[in-house]
Chain A
């Protein structure tokens, strides 16, 4: 095919733009227009309007329209109401996760009766399990079915003697053997108990009610065993879980027995219960009443306390005091205390209105308090080698729970009475501790000074004082003591805390008090406390064992101090951070500081204190990155550092900002995203300078923007990602161009072209290997669009950059069977056509583009045309090559059609040869029927439309020669 001569179509961009714009019709004030804001003001109050649905009267007026979104958000919107509801539900859900729907429903109802402000047992559970642990070996002793005393064999004559013995034998074979499991670790123990829980459920499901009862009895019997006493509270938690399960199973079963024909309402009365259900229920109670041992009888009856509802109205009211009195029979005070806690727990769940037995429990507990110092307990402690203070702490969950039940919505008089009673008893530190934990924090906070007095009076040898102050601190963290007492409280408390020798005890207590201090005092006090903590934790590197607490201190401070200039002006804050010497913890702390910074630092800052400290923190994070760091970790660290960099601004002091970026680049050289951000920051700086100078640089600013460009130019090569490099080169080139730094812009663009061959054929995107072709095409198109305004370098030839690019494209190893190269050629044509115009489509102020440089010189134009012809030649060659292969006809059609499009838009079709070429391309693209008819029809319509314009009449001839291929 002979070389085609290219003629660009002359364009008048202004006129074309004008034609594209629809005519605007001014709208008069009173006219209707759909987009004109309708202003509706509610005459009712907003609250009323929401309640009263749509019928609110409204009238138009010109006041500020209320935003419908913001009006929804004020008050409680339905979504946050749901969220709140579900938040309060979650503990219940997790608690009854194992029960069916039915059980859960009832659970929720119970919670209602108690109210969501009652801290449920489920939240204590985990805490107890985590706190009371042991490394000693445990044992489980179960006698299944060999409990002869319990079920006396009825000398029934109905069953013959022979059969009976045989049955008994079977019984024995099945479950009669005594099982004793020794040497269990704590985890084994918990697993065993869980197994028992499972087998309880299985036994129940397979209708072996007696076996289920036996399991429960054996489990509750374990609670009388106080060997390995440190583990007792946890054991209690595990075993009462089983009891809860059992209680639910029994209740649900009897409930379903009554649910025929329709389910019982939740507020059923005794009359609604049928006789069979009553009889079953009664049977359970008789069976349980005959359990030989005290403890199982007590626990199992408490577990099914709720079932009393089926029998009579007053059942629960009568049973609770009886069970309470029954606990007096338990000799071991610890076992008794926990039995009381369980009874209170069940009582609160089933009948929260019955407060008397709660109080009764507490007074009985006080009554038996002297037992702790009694001989049997002390002997046991010696035997188990447990110190009294440690032993006393074992009580606190139980006593705290009982007190919490009592204190719940209790009148103040009662609480005061309770406190007085506790005061009178010796050894009251334990009680005091529980009082502080269980009573409402407001109550405690209001009497904080009293409490401090009482704590001081306590016996040194008994309950550890730092725990008492810990409990007090916890209350004060939630509620505020009277303003005037605050400083005295802090002083008094800290006087004791600072004397605690054991660093672990010290930090546990100090950590709690940090909250109180941050809440009410200034940085001075917090600083003092930090200093004290540092003093205590530094010797012997005690901080190594206290990282969680130290972290919590930091968290608390960050909660209250959002002003970072204040925070960092605390002298001890940074030295406090120095205590985090384990790398992972250190980074985590830095990270949490950064998160707070990003969240709360609203204003840009140039405060040297903040900058120094933050740079230090960011550097710590940055330095933690090594070859083994995960990608995700790197990304999140980089994000945090970027967040910091974005907050730094020196205002008009651009040079300082640039030098900050230089410093930052040196500091954060290992995190690529940070470098990218720094380049963006510097580019932005250059543009900001331009804005300030209103486009015309002085000598000084010109030097500065050149410095910016230099910064980018030397930073970009250190990036490893080829596409970030390419796009940053291009972007920086554009910035340089905008700032009239022509040689810099040239260098950027040249650099971009020169690294093009390095682009790999495939890159990994989000962990998957993908072809880089589409990215590369995107970049080249973007690049071409920029080249239009770049003036030619006087020392290099005409269209030096375009040629360079096309050469690179030519030499690049494209994927086999890809049209990418040709596509680049096709997209270069519009650029070349645009360069032929007298006035360019766009230009950069104060930069002379080629239009001015050459001024439409025919030599320049012919250069362009020659280039176009080469390109078209290449494209046509490619088309020819494609026609050799059957399979590539579709691609051929597509390429041909896009070239046709370019010719139509940018070529001068008055030229016969071009016109002929266009017709040929049209035919080629339609030859194999791969063209979408709709697009073809559209194209024809467009051409007909264009032909109506005066200088485009020739198009109508061309249209005549284009035939549409029919679908058939």
Chain B
């Protein structure tokens, strides 16, 4: 006898805001009448923090992982113990999306050391002989759009051998001149990062031009804090020896889930940066870093 349990949210994109109602149905499909000891549904929002082994000792990282922060937690009983007729049964439910007192609903974010996740969990208790059934369903929370207008704060840049820091032997560097601009460093998360880069000249042919999106996660606790920068994605915008003097568009869509509006709390921080990486044919790597501030409007 097979039973399938599923949670279906009303909204196809599963995106909710604080104060809204998360509505949907629990779908049960079984061939014959099904006996159960109660169906319950719970909603939970958690921030998981983890210290990287780089910042702290290995063991410490293992045991001392910071306690998860609960943002939201509620539970309802959907059905009392009883029977469910064979066929497809849909049980509608509604949850108001409200934070626990003193807590803020952060936006959903899947990172490496910081994870903010919201889930619905449906449990069906059954007799001793049959296994209990449960089903998880993640939904996405977007924080309330920011009221104030976002000033785009564009930047222009020029990269030459002289502007570089962290070079080992400045003398062996080939000559090049790369200019460009970003349309905004104060970005709207739902809109792409745009700009232009122009290779004015370069002695060594260029192999590749890439945009590297980096997250900077900071976890703080009483003993201090750990700050780690990891790559989210790397997008190539120029391949091969691009035409000199021709502007190449910078364009990157911020990936969903892996980015959120820049976040700063007492316990943790999530920030973003973008690197413009130019790889020369002799495998010289030129990187220019730009901190970004992401906003939701």
Contacts and interface: CB of A to CB of B under 8 A. Distances in A.
Interface in A136-176: 149-150, 152, 154-158
A329 interface: yes
A388 B110 CA distance: 52
A331 B240 contact: yes
Interface in B222-248: 231-243, 246-248
B127 interface: no
Interface string A313-345: 000000000100110111111010000000000
B260 to A, nearest CB: 13
A58 interface: no
B253 A289 contact: yes
B284 interface: no
B255 interface: yes
B205 A279 contact: no
A224 B208 CA distance: 12
A329 B258 contact: no
Interface in B74-131: 110-113, 115, 117, 119
A295 B237 CA distance: 9
A965 interface: no
Contacts of A333: 243
Interface string B249-267: 1011101111000000000
B1 interface: no
A375 interface: yes
Interface residues of A, number: 42
A331 B241 contact: yes
A274 B241 CA distance: 44
Contact of A152 (B115, B233, B236): B233
Given A156-B115, A276-B12, A328-B242, A292 B253 contact: no
A330 B240 contact: yes
A654 B218 CA distance: 114
B247 A290 contact: no
Contacts of B73: none
Contact of B112 (A155, A285, A295, A371): A155
Given A149-B234, A152-B232, A155-B115, A371 B251 contact: no
Given A158-B138, A279-B12, A292-B233, A329 B112 contact: no
Given A290-B253, A292-B233, A297-B235, A328 B247 contact: yes
A154 B258 CA distance: 8
Nearest to A226: B240
A157 B233 contact: no
Contact of A331 (B46, B110, B231, B238): B238
Contact of A286 (B113, B242, B247, B253): B253
Contact of B249 (A278, A293, A297, A326): A326
B246 A328 contact: yes
A368 interface: yes
A367 interface: yes
A290 to B, nearest CB: 5
A286 B255 contact: yes
A368 B248 CA distance: 12
Secondary structure at chain B's binding surface: helix, strand, loop or mixed? strand
Interface extent on B, as a size class? 35 or more
A295 B231 CA distance: 21
B13 A275 contact: yes
A331 B11 contact: no
Nearest to A335: B240
A376 interface: yes
B136 interface: yes
B209 interface: yes
Contacts of B12: 274-276, 278-279
A294 interface: yes
Contact of B239 (A156, A274, A322, A331): A331
A125 B205 CA distance: 34
Central interface residue in B205, B234, B240, B255, by most chain A CB within 10 Å: B240
Contacts, number: 113
Contacts of B253: 285-286, 289-290
Contacts of B209: 329
Contacts of B117: 156-158
A373 to B, nearest CB: 12
Nearest to A324: B249
Contact of B206 (A150, A224, A331, A367): A331
B235 A331 contact: no
A620 B231 CA distance: 78
Central interface residue in A154, A290, A292, A370, by most chain B CB within 10 Å: A290
Given A155-B115, A156-B115, A158-B136, A286 B256 contact: yes
A376 B207 CA distance: 11
Given A152-B258, A275-B13, A286-B255, A322 B249 contact: yes
Given A154-B257, A157-B115, A279 B239 contact: no
B243 to A, nearest CB: 5
Contacts of A375: 205
B48 interface: yes
A620 to B, nearest CB: 58
A376 B239 contact: no
A282 B234 CA distance: 20
Contacts of B258: 152, 154
Central interface residue in B13, B50, B252, by most chain A CB within 10 Å: B13
B47 to A, nearest CB: 10
A289 B252 CA distance: 7
Nearest to A277: B12
Interface string B187-212: 00000000000000000011001000
A371 B243 contact: yes
Contacts of A322: 249, 251
Central interface residue in B11, B110, B113, by most chain A CB within 10 Å: B110
Contacts of B48: 157
Contacts of A224: 239-240
Contacts of B246: 328, 364, 367-368
Contacts of A155: 50, 110-113, 115
A718 to B, nearest CB: 77
Interface in A283-305: 285-286, 289-290, 292-295, 297
Contacts of B237: 294, 326, 329
A906 to B, nearest CB: 91
A256 to B, nearest CB: 16
Contacts of B241: 331-332, 371, 374, 376
A285 B11 CA distance: 19
Given A152-B231, A326-B249, A368-B243, A293 B236 contact: yes
B240 A332 contact: yes
Nearest to A377: B241
A290 B254 CA distance: 9
A325 B250 CA distance: 10
Central interface residue in B136, B231, B253, by most chain A CB within 10 Å: B253
17 contacts: A152-B233, A154-B110, A155-B110, A158-B117, A279-B13, A286-B255, A325-B248, A328-B246, A329-B236, A329-B238, A330-B242, A331-B206, A331-B241, A370-B243, A374-B241, A375-B205, A376-B241
Given A156-B115, A333-B243, 12 more contacts: A152-B232, A158-B119, A274-B12, A285-B253, A292-B234, A294-B239, A322-B251, A328-B242, A329-B238, A330-B240, A331-B206, A332-B241
